[in-house]
Structure 1
Amino acid sequence: MAKRIIKKKEIPEPVPSFQERFTKWVKKNLKAIGIVSGIILIITAIILIFLIHSKNLERRASYKLSIALNLYNQAVYSQDIKGEKKKLKEVLKDLEDIEKRYKRTDHGKKALLYIGHIYYHLKDYDNAIKFYRRFLKKTKKDDLLKIMALNGLGYANEEKADFKEAIKWYSKILNINNRFFQPYAHLNMARCFEKLKNIPEAIKNYREFLKENPDSERSLQVKYKVKVLEEMSVSKK
């Protein structure tokens, strides 16, 4: 009787562990990993340098703007009218330099607003309007400064007797959530509507002012204004 041959089962090769596979992959792609790591380090370094540079620029712009605004306030509140113009022109040069050197910083952009203010004080209303509008295009954050620019645009257009344009800018203040300035936007709009002989809209906005700011020191004057305009409306009928 023939002997039955018993074969040994083939022993399977052990499956490589994750660590072994990872080590093998790293060795295989070592050059590519080095290149990518180098690129990441370079990009990180560039970003850090940019952030440090931006912070330093902002700090310098803030310092120079604070000096310029101190001189601006001295000029505006000076009792010497002739000297005021001279000082304002000097400050104007400083602000223009700040805006030019630091135009990408928040304080450099803020300089545009005060350049507009100076042109307004100098009665150069076209340039005032130009710089107020430039400021509004560049600023996105500070609602209070936006309101200052919108008011400046309203006042400058009033000085040019362009009351419709003034109303357009004053009305934009109503879209900003600020309970202090909104009533005065109505007051300014009412004044412009009155100049345009649009009595119903003038009365409406004067009333809005009284409704939103009843305790204002100007409330008595505005109430009298409403009374006079209402009497005018009745007499015309």
Structure 2
Amino acid sequence: MAKGGVSRKQLLNEPDKFMTFTGKLIAYAKSHLKVILSCAAVIFVSLIIIATVSQVSRRNEVKASERVEKLVAKYSSVLQDEDAKVAYEQVKSDFNDLFDVYGSKRAVKIARIVYGDMSYSAGDADTAIAMYSHALDDFTQSQGLKNIILSGLGYAYLLKKEYPQSIRYFEMITASEEKTLRSDALFNLAWLYETNGEKERSVAQYKQILADFPDTSYGELIKEKIGG
């Protein structure tokens, strides 16, 4: 046999490492059975809780969506016979309850924008600003939706005659690459600059609208403003 070799007898006499490890593992399991079962129970209960929370969350999302639909339908129904202020008063408390109970649900996040529009139409600029500001935090990743919210803020501050703030939000729309409500924002800026006595900036905005949006519905009005 070669020097340093190990005989088959020696190999057979040596304990198998895997068998030794397995034996120790079994022995540990027996001596710690209660602990192992307790840990398994905790994991199992945790999985049940996660599944239940997920299910409840989905169910609440559906409930929130249904409530939003009903409130919008109620507002629209009242609006057929009454003005925007009366319709707004009819749903105000219901919307506040909705925000308290389901405020984190996606349908309700969208509802804040809708309720902001209702508030603005009723002349309640402060509530509109509060709704739009909250919505702006909710939808920072969607530039199209963000422009809609920024426009709402611009109009709400315009309603309060706080022109610098109104200009700020309309300028945020025109500064982005997203075209949603861009022509509307440019037109409002042109009017605001004109109101502030900034004639040159106003004319520049009007011309920008015609250049970027040649088919704009504001076309004839703008041409009258800038004389051709």
Smaller-chain TM-score bracket: 0.7 to 0.9
Q: Is the 8 A contact 2:132 2:153 kept in 1?
A: yes
1:21 equivalenced with 2:24 (yes/no): no
**Pick aligned residue for 2:59 from 47, 56, 61:** 56
Match of 1:98 in 2: 98
Partner Cα distance (1:39, 1:98) in 2: 35
In structure 2, the CA distance between the partners of 1:9 and 1:182, relative to structure 1 (3 Å rule), is: closer
For residues 108-123 of structure 1, the aligned pairs below 5 Å read: 108-123=108-123
> Aligned partners of 2:151, 2:8: CA distance in 1, in Å?
93
Cα deviation for residue 176 of structure 1 reads 5.0
In 1, the alpha carbon distance for the partners of 2:19 and 2:53 equals: 39
Q: Residues of 1 paired with 2:153 and 2:223: CA distance?
A: 27
Q: TM-score, normalised by structure 1?
A: 0.79
Change in Cα spacing, 1:169 to 1:42, as seen in structure 2 (3 Å) is same
Contact 1:157 1:166 in 2 (8 A): yes
Q: Is the Cα contact below 8 Å between 1:154 and 1:169 reproduced in 2?
A: yes
Alpha-carbon offset, residue 95 of structure 1: 1.5
| CA shift for structure 1 position 112 | 2.2
* Aligned equivalents of 2:198, 2:45: Cα separation in 1: 65
Q: Which residue of 1 aligns with 2:130?
A: 130
Aligned-pair CA distance for 1:221 = 1.3
Distance 2:81 2:216 in 1: 28
Task: Find the residue that maps to 1:11 and give its secondary structure.
Answer: helix
How far off is 1:28 after superposition?
0.9
Letter of the structure 1 residue corresponding to residue 62 of structure 2: R
Q: Does the 8 A contact of 1:96 with 1:115 survive in 2?
A: no
Unaligned runs of 5+ in 2: 1-6
Distance 1:41 1:27, change over 3 A: farther
- Please list every run of 5 or more consecutive structure 1 residues that lacks an aligned counterpart in the other structure: 1-7, 229-237
1:129 aligns to what SS in structure 2?
A: helix
One of 41, 47, 50 as aligned partner of 2:50 = 47
Rounded Cα–Cα distance in structure 2 between residues aligned with 1:154 and 1:135:
14
Aligned counterparts of 1:204 and 1:11: Cα–Cα separation in 2: 97
| Percentage of identical aligned residues | 22
SS at match of 2:10: coil
Deviation, structure 1 residue 20: 5.9
**What are the Cα deviations for residues 99-149 of structure 1, in whole angstroms up to 9, with x where unaligned?**
111012112222322332222122121222122212222334544443332
CA distance in 2, matches of 1:133, 1:105: 17
Q: Is it true that 1:218 corresponds to 2:207 in the alignment?
A: no
User: Aligned pair 1:172/2:172, yes or no?
Assistant: yes
CA contact (8 A) 1:98 1:111 kept: no
Greater alpha carbon shift after TM alignment, 218-227 vs 33-42: 33-42
Q: Which amino acid aligns with 1:127?
A: T
In structure 2, distance between residues paired with 1:120 and 1:52? 36
CA offsets 1:172-199 (integer angstroms, 9 cap, x no match): 2235553242222212221211111112
Question: Residue 65 of structure 1 corresponds to which residue in structure 2?
Answer: 68
